[in-house]
Each structure stands twice: as structure tokens, then as C-alpha cells.
Amino acid sequence: MRLFWKRAALCAAVCLAAGALAGCERSSEKTKEGMERIESLDYEGALASFEEARNLGEDPRLIARGQGIAYMGLTDYEQAIACFQEALAGSSGFVQRVDYDLNYYLAAAYQKNGQYSEAERTYDAILALKSGEPDAYFLRGAVRLSQNEYEAAQDDFARVLSMEPDNYDRLIDVCQVMEYYGYTEAGREYLQGALDVSDKQITAYDQGRIFYHLGNYQEAAAALEQARENGNAESYLFLGKAYEAMGDYNYAANVYNSYLAQGKPDAEIYNQLGLCELARQDYQKALEAFQAGMQLENNGIMQTLSFNEIVAYEYMGEYQKASVLLDNYLKNYPDDEAAVREQGFLATR
């Protein structure tokens, strides 16, 4: 199982803050070009654009920020940290939105570099400036848990859940973080607590996915069968996953295909359908599902789909094709340890 919370939840605050930056500060041509190259995963090209931007006298803070993001893409976290620190040092003294953005990036770079105490202090700094930041509390809690600071982490999680009592996405993220660090039962207590609050209105969808994360798959399926009447992709996704967890891959595949038959393509549905077809040993259909998801613009899970495409080719015995795709994949995602191990396996085929 790929680390969902580390790929999504842990990076969510960073990515959202970064995306918001575009609307609050104006950058010049070469800086914009560099950011566009980052979006296309051309990190070396991005660094070249930022160097040109520096020579042209464009905004040095945004250049350093962009360089830091590019170095993170190249897994050069020491350089990334230096760039984010440079950008922060260029502050006018008045706290701006970009300062929060840079601190989130700096904390993420520290974490990637294994400097957890420095990451924690960075979240401290964010909260000292703005105490109502739920993302900072959540991410600091995760960092504290990684350092075995259980009580302090619980304080942070309790704070963020009190700030967002109806945010079930956050509740599930907290549960997944705790499960990852070995506190599965404690994490599930949060989920069960949400179900036990009798005076709170909870949708069938939220109830279903909480049951799913509690491992109560039959209860999850019953709730999600009601939820899919609303027709949203998430209800179908969790309904299918509940049936997969119960070993009924045929019904799960029918759930995914019934959603796609409505003419509303969804990358996560395609990805889960592909995984379901892998379990049913229909590798050609699995490959087609992953590739259909990859063809959707701005699908948001291109890394996951690309990796699963490689796995499908492996199952089909097309090791040369899988090897070529994996080499290209690692150029875009060099810090994926599972892919590095997979490369070692393919080298023996």
C-alpha cells in the first residue's frame, strides 16, 4: 500500500498554499516559465528558467521559491532548504501570504531531509504568526508523532479536530497518520467517536467511509449504497473499495463501470478499476483503465497511474516496456523508493 497520507494529506497544505500564491503576487515571464516547467516535471529546465529570471532582475523571492520547489523535485533537499531560507530572508518585515507558503515548503523540505525537529520548529513559527492555521496543527502533529512525541501530537490533532468538527476528510487523515506510526486503535477511536455523537447530522457518504476506515466493510457498503444515489464519484469509489475489501472484485468492478458508463470520467475511478482488474487477473483491462485515467487532463494522480501502468505491463510479462517506462518514471519521481526497488527487480528479468 502506497503511503496515502504522506502523498496526499501531508502535502495537501503545502500544495494548496502554493496554488493560492498565483493569485496574490505577480511574477515575471521567466519566473512563470520556470513554474510551468515544474508543473510538467521538467525540474532541470525550470532551474535554467529561474537563472535567466535572476539575470533579468525579476522578483528574487519568487525566483528562490521556484528554485526550492525545483530542487525538491530533484530530491536535493539541502539546496531546497537553502532556497526557501533565502526567500524568507528577503521579507520586507511585513508578513505576507507568500511567507506562510514558504514556511510550509521549508517544513516539507526539512521532513524530506529527515530534519524533523527543524520541521516542527517551522510549524511553530507559522502558528506563532497565525494561531488559527489548522493545516499547521495537523502537519505539526504528524511530525511530532514521527519523533515519538505522542502526547504533543495528540494535542495538535485534538486542536485541529475541534477547529473543524465537521471536516471528515481531516478526521480520516488523522486516523491514517496514527495508523502509519503504529497507533491504529487510538486513531480508530477518533472515527468511532464521530459515529457515536448522536446529535450530529452525518451523511450516508461520510458514515460509509468512516465505517470503511474502521474495517467494518459490510456496514460501509450498506451506507454507501444509499450515498451513491447522489451520483458523486467518491460514493462509487468507496463503495467499490468496500466490496474489494470483502473480496468481491466482480461487484466492485461493476460499481466502477456503472459510474463510468454515465459519461463522467474520473481518474480515481479509473485507477481503482485498474487495481480491481489486476486482482481479477485481467491485466489488459487493468492497463486500459490506468491509461484511460492518464489521458484525463489535470487528473491529479498522474504519479499513481503511471506507476500502476508499469505494474500492469509487468503482470503481462512485457518487462522491456515496463523497464523503459520505469526509467522515465524515476526521472520524474526520483524519491519513490518503491519504484527504485521495482527497478532492481526488472533488472533481473
pLDDT averaged per 10 residues in sequence order, the chain, 349 residues: 39 42 59 95 96 95 97 96 96 80 96 96 94 95 96 96 93 96 94 80 92 96 92 93 97 97 95 97 98 94 96 95 94 88 79
Give 1-114's CATH code, choosing from 3.30.460.20, 1.20.120.1150, 3.30.565.10, 1.25.40.10.
1.25.40.10
Task: Write out the three cell numbers for 94.
Answer: 511585513
pLDDT, residue 326, reads: 95
* Stretch (H or E) spanning 13: helix 10-21
The three three-digit cell numbers of residue 145, written as one number: 508523532
Nearest-10 Cα torsion for 109, 116, 112, 174: -100
CA dihedral for 317, 321, 326, 329, sign (positive or negative): negative
Handedness of CA 90, 94, 96, 102 (dihedral sign): positive
Residue 309 and residue 286: Cα distance in Å, rounded? 8
The H-assigned helical ranges of 181-216 are 184-196, 204-214
pLDDT score at 348:
78
Q: Assess contact for 61 and 83: CB atoms under 8 A.
A: no
Q: Which three cell numbers stand for residue 83?
A: 532556497
Q: How far is CA 245 from the centre of its chain?
A: 22
Residue 164 backbone dihedrals phi, psi, to 5 degrees: -130, 65
What ranges do the domains of the chain cover?
1-114
Q: Count the helix, strand and coil residues of the chain and give each as a percent rounded to the nearest 5.
A: 75, 0, 25
Q: How far is it, in rounded angstroms, from Cα 235 to Cα 265?
A: 14
Per DSSP, the three-state class of 168 is helix
